[in-house]
Every structure is written in structure tokens, then in C-alpha cells.
Amino acid sequence: MPTTNARIIPKEQVSSLRFPRQPLMLSESERKGILQNMAEATRLGNVEHGKCRISFYDDEGLKAVETTIWTFDPENIVLKYGMTIPVSRVVSVDFP
């Protein structure tokens, strides 16, 4: 999925977004790549304080946030201050 049209938002806005419950239609290889990048981004964020760009869909459309990932589980990516993004709504995790 192309993410070049994503509207970049400040990480502080994530807590006010609404996320649909239905997961995005992604292939197994796309999901696997996202999970691998989330693991690498988490390592970079915790060890080197490196940022990543997370592109995702909320109820209004494609958005992106540049931040560090503190941790993640099968359901959510956890950012600073406990803000979360559902893994099922993420289309990419990139390193700018």
C-alpha cells in the first residue's frame, strides 16, 4: 500500500484518533514485514532513541506519525505516554 499521501500528525494527536475494529486487508508477507520493522524500530527506539515513521489508517484516512516505539504486542503499538496504535491498522513502519 502506498504511504506517500499520508498526513503526518504530531504524536500527541494519536490519543484523540478513532480506529475502526476491522483489520486492513494486507497479505501475510506484508504483515510479516510490518512486524519485523516494528521489532527493529522498538530496538532502535529503546537503545539508540531512533525514530520511525508509522503509517496507519484511522476512521478518517491515511495518517503517519514520526516517533519512537516503546513496545508492541500482537494488538497494539505503544508510544510515549501510553498512547497506542492498533497493529491491525498499520500499513508500514519505516525509518526516515
The grid coordinates listed for 43 are: 530496538
Q: Quick one: pLDDT at residue 80?
A: 87
Question: Which band of pLDDT confidence, cut at 50, 70 and 90, is reported for residue 2?
Answer: low
Question: pLDDT tens digit string along 78-96?
Answer: 998 889 999 999 999 998 7
Q: Quick one: pLDDT at residue 42?
A: 95
Asked if residue 3 has pLDDT above 80, the reply is: no
Question: pLDDT tens digit string along 44-82?
Answer: 988 988 899 999 999 999 999 999 999 999 999 999 888
Fill in the amino acid letter for 34. Answer: I
All structural domains of the chain? 7-94 (2.30.30.100)
